[in-house]
Amino acid sequence: MKKLKAKEVLELMISVLLRYLEEMKEFQDIDSEQFEYGERVAYVECLEYVQLWERSKEYGLDFDIEKKYPL
């Protein structure tokens, strides 16, 4: 696996986590509701930490994450 710079890793994480959260908006399975909620919490928390990065707005995190993806 190719080694990436920190900026590239953060860029990849932002992209993947946002995609997962968007996919979860469409997925409704009553039997896995608790598991899905735990996933959503983890993804939102990760994005909030990444948002502390000084360049996060340049990479698409220029919004209130919990407003867009409420817990």
Q: At what angle do helices 6-26 and 33-50 cross, to 10 degrees?
A: 150
Mean pLDDT of 59-67: 94
Per-residue pLDDT reduced to its tens digit, 3-19: 999 999 999 999 999 99
What is the Cα–Cα distance from 28 to 60, expressed in whole angstroms?
26
Q: What is the average pLDDT value for the chain, to the nearest integer?
A: 89
Angle at 68 between CA 66 and CA 10, to 5 degrees: 75
Q: What pLDDT is stored for residue 35 in this prediction?
A: 82
pLDDT beyond 70 at 29: no
Question: What confidence tier does 42 reach under pLDDT thresholds 50, 70, 90?
Answer: very high
Query: Is the per-residue pLDDT at 54 higher than 70?
Result: yes
